[in-house]
Amino acid sequence: MLGIKISLKKTEQLKKHLLESNLFNKEYKIIKQDNSIIFPLTKLTEAKKRQLKKKFPESEFINYSFIPRKKTQNYKDLLLSILQKSVIDELPSSFDIIGSILILEIKPELIEYEKQIADALLRINKNITTILKKADIHSGEFRTQKLDYIAGEKTKVTVYRENNVRLKLDVEKVYFSPRLSTERKRIYKQVKKGENILVMFSGCGPYPIVLSRNTAAAKITGIEKNPIAHRYAESNATLNKTKNVTLLKGDVRKVLPELDEKFDRILMPLPKGAEDFLYLALAASKKGTIIHFYDFEHESELKKGEKKVKSACKENNKSCKILRTVKCGQYSPGKFRICVDFLIS
Ligand SMILES: C[S@@+](CC[C@H](N)C(=O)[O-])C[C@H]1O[C@@H](n2cnc3c(N)ncnc32)[C@H](O)[C@@H]1O
């Protein structure tokens, strides 16, 4: 098979060119030989060969028996002998994975195959040891979700890693979404040295702990009503050796006024109904406080979040400046989790 050999020093330029011009045969492995690299090539015309040689005169065409790359196997491939192609086509391609637990969302008509599907997923994903399935939607004040066991190790407790932290949690008894890791990063990138931060609705501690481990904030206070989530948050603070996190158990409506404290930054990660708590966040704010208000809004009504903020500020005699509204995840078709960042001015 035809390859092109070039000295190590020129490798990057040649690779970039081959990729851009679709000449790099990605089905085969690159070869390193002494101080040179040999790239496998796709079929190319004599004219293309001349062009390549002109662009990289120090290169050399070479016939080589390249080693094929191993095709990564998909769990659907393992099911081909058991299930019909039409059933396999209906199977999901992405899942929520929290630590070693994979959470399946399975259509009612596929429930009879769930054990085979789960076994295939366990065989393909060596880091997954438990398969659960969604048995309900997130509901209630604690925003938890019933999950049923399907296969693997019988547990609902796992350790999840993101943004330089480890979080232990029971995925059924505590609300947690791995999909928010990028959003947590977006927030910690804004934090300045010495900030005093409040995280309302702190759950098992992802926001306070990620902020603590990735910023030079002075103090971070989390408030959470679900006693199980609060207990996990406390042990996660210990697990991550945080020095500046205080976690308080209880209803934010009762706990926050008792603190009688003003914060530099306030996070409100309760997208369903956080507007009912805006008056509390505003009472704990001062000139210069930045508030991150989460909400669910339809694609066509993304500005509704800002309207909720402005009307709460008006009612509570606060003036604010909207800094931005960002989409930070999809909730359902056409509906998004958004965050309105605003400044108390
Ligand atoms: C959507 S979850 C977010 C949890 C966590 N911040 C996270 O990102 O994983 C909302 C959390 O708010 C808590 N919660 C709901 N109402 C509350 C209240 N009145 N006071 C304190 N916490 C509350 C729930 O128990 C739940 O853990």
Q: What is the pLDDT of residues 79-89, one digit of tens each?
A: 988 888 888 98
Query: Would the CATH topology of 2-63 be identical to that of 75-155?
Result: no
**What pTM does this model have?**
0.81
Which of 175, 201, 211, 245 gets mutated to test ligand 1 (max ligand atoms within 8 A of its CB)? Answer: 201
Q: State the fold for domain 176-344.
A: Rossmann fold (3.40.50)
Which of 270, 272, 295, 328 gets mutated to test ligand 1 (max ligand atoms within 8 A of its CB)? Answer: 270
Q: What is the pLDDT of residues 171-213, one digit of tens each?
A: 999 999 999 999 999 999 999 999 999 999 999 999 999 999 9
Nearest CA to ligand 1 atom 13: 201
Please, which residues have CB within 8 angstroms of residue 16's CB and are 6 or more apart in sequence?
none
Q: What does the pLDDT average to over 255-279?
A: 96
Strands (DSSP E) found in 108-236: 130-134, 147-152, 157-162, 165-170, 196-200, 219-224
Give the tokens for residue 339.
Answer: 């965050």
Q: What does the pLDDT average to over 108-129?
A: 93
Q: How far is CA 222 from CA 141, 200, 249, 285, 293, in A?
A: 17, 6, 8, 15, 15
Could you state, in order of their start, the residue ranges of all structural domains in the chain? 2-63, 75-155, 176-344
Q: State the fold for domain 2-63.
A: Alpha-Beta Plaits (3.30.70)
- Ligand 1: list residues with CB < 6 Å: 141-143, 175-176, 180, 201-203, 206-207, 223-226, 229, 251-253, 269-270
Beta bridge partners of 7: 36
Question: What is the per-residue pLDDT for 27?
Answer: 87
The domain defined by 75-155 carries CATH number 3.30.300.110: yes
Give the whole-angstrom CA distance, residue 263 versus residue 281. Answer: 9
